[in-house]
Homo-oligomer: A and B are copies of this chain.
Amino acid sequence: MAEVAGGAVAHASFAHSPAKAQEVFAVDTVNAQYLESLVGYNVRRASLAMVSVFMKCTDRFDLKIVEFSVLSLVAGNAGITSRQLCQQLDVLPPNMVGMIDALVSRGYLERRPHPHDGRATGLYLTVQGHDLVEAAQLQLKSSEAQAVSHLSAQEQAQLLALLQKLYR
């Protein structure tokens, strides 16, 4: 309950229409009811939470999320092209170039010519890259498991299935 500057009393929760003239309110606890009813809002908040789990976990590997994703895809798809990575990860080609250059410079990736297509370049993990991605994947799996440990195994499976229904 907040006192109006003029002496009257008002509840912020009454303010569903534009507040009149010079009424002033104080908000004690924020009401996010509408936003929390939106799928988009909830999925964004959850995404931010999982991003922070990722960042704590892969601090010691010095990998950004997209870099980790690139290495993981190359690990499962030796010879994948830059363009295929872009399509899979929603990254634009000009923004992928520097990322791959950096991973090559750090000794995790190498480029080899594509077997059929002279325009394309295949990407491969180095031994060092293979070790890194293996360690990072294990670490991330366990960090995620801890972060979602308050959901039952069934709930976790349901969540993945529902999310995939959403974006596929």
Contacts and interface: CB of A to CB of B under 8 A. Distances in A.
Contact of A88 (B30, B37, B137): B30
Which of A3, A19, A151 has the most B CB atoms < 10 Å from its CB?
A19
Contact of A25 (B18, B38, B48, B78): B78
A61 interface: no
- Counted per complex, copies of this chain come to 2
A52 to B, nearest CB: 10
Interface residues of A, number: 87
Interface of A: 2-5, 12, 15-19, 22-27, 30-51, 53-54, 65, 69, 72-73, 75-81, 84, 87-88, 90, 112-117, 122, 124-127, 129-130, 137, 140-141, 144, 147-148, 150-151, 155-156, 158-160, 162-167
Contacts of A48: 90, 167
